Amino acid sequence: MISNIKTSTATTLAILSFVISQPKQKVEFEYYTVNDGLAENSVDVILQDKKGFIWAGTENGLCRFDGYMFKVFEHNPFDSTTLMGNAIVSLFQDSMKRLWVGTGPGLNLYNPTTNTFIRYPHKLENKNSIPQFPSGIEEDKQGNICCVGWTPGVYKQDPKTGAVTVFNHDPKDDTSISADLKSGANIFIKDSLGNMWSHHGKGLNLINPNTNKVTRFLRSKSGGSISSDTINTLLPDKFGNMWIGTNKGLDRMDINTKMVGQ
What CATH number does the domain located at 127-262 have?
2.130.10.10
Query: Whole-model pTM?
Result: 0.82
Domain ranges of the chain: 30-121, 127-262
Residues 6+ apart with CB under 8 A from 188: 135, 136, 138, 146, 147, 148, 154, 196, 197, 198
CA dist., res. 22 & res. 36, Å (int): 36
**Residue 11 φ/ψ, nearest 5 degrees:** -65, -45
Q: What is the mean pLDDT of each run of 10 residues along the chain (262 residues)?
A: 41 45 74 95 97 97 97 98 97 97 97 97 90 92 90 88 89 82 66 86 85 89 85 91 92 93 72
